[in-house]
Structure 1
Amino acid sequence: MYVEIPFIGNATKEFRNKITHLCNKLRPDLDIQFFMKQPPPPVLQMLYQTKDPIDKKMKSDVVYSIKCTKCQHSYIGKTERQCVKRLHEHGAPKSSSELRRSDRLKAKSTTTTTTTTITTSSVIKEITFAVQQNQIETGHQMNWDNFRIVMEDNHYYRLLIKESLLIKAYEPELNRTTHSVPLIVFPDELQKELLPKPFDND
């Protein structure tokens, strides 16, 4: 009996030995021969990729960060919607290139679901205004093109926790709230070293 398994180093050898030992105990009459197949080289893997990479501006359910182009003022936020829509609410300029989608996405119908959110509309308006106010008062521009997706999560409450941990750890100047939800699980917060970096040179 021939069994083909992908070869990925010592893990493959350990797997083969465990299967052989198990078969010897349960079915000693079977003669199993393993054939280890090398994984395809990176070039072939790229050729066989079927999904197009998603532009970061089109991603949703993320915690993101923005930084001013001239000063150190920064902001950390989260959104369940596409990043491009949230950035426009912050004051990012609208352009056709930012809203361009692939033909496959255009062909899909858009469905809207109602979700219960913890953040109220008044808080959302205040947060949006904080970023816009910084641009008005200083005359600076936020670095919209180089905004960073720091963390992702399709569960809304976990997304809030991740946003809160980053805000507490880095204390960005344009965030007017210290957290979105009570950090009961992390009462002592988390050290920066245990969190992804939302900004360069942190």
Structure 2
Amino acid sequence: MKDSPIDRIIINVPYVGKITQQLSKDLKKLAKKVKPTTQVIAVPRPPPAVRQMFKNKDEIPKNLQSNIIYQVNCSSCSASYIGKTTRQACSRLKEHGAPTEIPVEHTNENLRRSARIAAMYANNNARISYYESDSSEDDIPSATYTSAIKRHITSTQHKIDWHNWSILDKDKHPYRLLVKESLAISEKSPALNLTTRSVSLVVYPEGRAIRRTSQKTSQ
């Protein structure tokens, strides 16, 4: 007569000293009583550390995040806008026409603009036409910048959903941020963007959708 197969059950139990040892013995006895062919293996584990229960750093509010790809939607129609910014999002949204209750950081303007642009802004001797992309918004004085979202509000009298704008992607590397912006614009085709990309997508000229398809095909 063949012996019945033994069912092994591994249970992780928190280690708190002698109580853990007694609990392991009780579990084994209970398993034998319920089903003699069951073997319970109690593995003592250290309790979770306090740092695992709490976040080490406070989460940065969405309005204060930087180096992001963002999307802003119109509440009155299906139009949307996708852009990127290396500054805090609240500053960029305010340039788009966001209400003043969105917090804006107070920094020295000269720290994020070249001397040439700062001089042009101070002397007001030149006007820069910059409409389609957010690719170099850190170098463009807000007084000479016309936002596509602002033009949409002015021409249609529509309202923008400033409270539910979303972050699509992040990257601290400037060029990768431009590539991700181009991929997002190519994939979603936002109506308010006048350009289809910020940089040339040499590897995937048709955008992110084609890249995903090629990955699935190769598998």
Fold in common (TM above 0.5): yes
Name the TM-score class by shorter chain: 0.5 to 0.7
**Alignment match, 1:191:** 209
Q: What CA deviation, in whole Å up to 9, does each residue of 1:30-83 have, x standing for no partner?
A: xxxxx9745628x97343x23111001000000000000110010000000000
Identity %: 38
The aligned length equals: 150
TM-score by length of 2: 0.57
- Partner AA of 1:153 in structure 2: D
Residue matched to 2:48: 40
| CA contact 1:63–1:149 (8 Å) conserved in 2 | yes
Residues 1:156 and 2:174 are matched in the alignment = yes
**Structure with the greater alpha carbon radius of gyration:** 2
Consecutive unaligned residues in structure 2, runs of 5 or more? 1-11, 13-42, 115-133, 213-219
Question: What is the CA deviation profile of residues 79-118 of structure 1, one whole-angstrom value per residue up to 9, with x for unaligned ones?
Answer: 00000000000000112x6248xxxxx9xx9993668x96
* Cα RMSD, aligned residues only: 3.8
1:126 deviates by: 9.1
Structure 1 residues 126 and 185: alpha-carbon distance in aligned structure 2, compared to 1, 3 A threshold: farther
Hey, what's the Cα distance between the residues in 2 that align with 1:190 and 1:99? 33
Aligned residue in 2 for 1:112: 111
Q: CA deviation at 1:190?
A: 1.9
Q: Which stretch has the larger CA shift, 151-160 or 183-192?
A: 183-192
- In the alignment, the residues of structure 2 paired with residue 177 and residue 85 of structure 1 have an alpha-carbon distance, to the nearest angstrom, of 22
Q: Give the structure 2 partner of residue 180 of structure 1.
A: 198
Distance, in Å, in 2 between the alignment partners of 1:170 and 1:78 is 15
Q: Which residue of 1 aligns with 2:165?
A: 147
2:186 and 2:207 in contact (8 A); partners too:
yes
Distance in 1, Cα, partners of 2:157 & 2:210: 31
Q: TM-score, normalised by structure 1?
A: 0.61
**Alignment partners' CA distance in 1, 2:207 and 2:70:** 19
Aligned counterpart, 1:60: 66
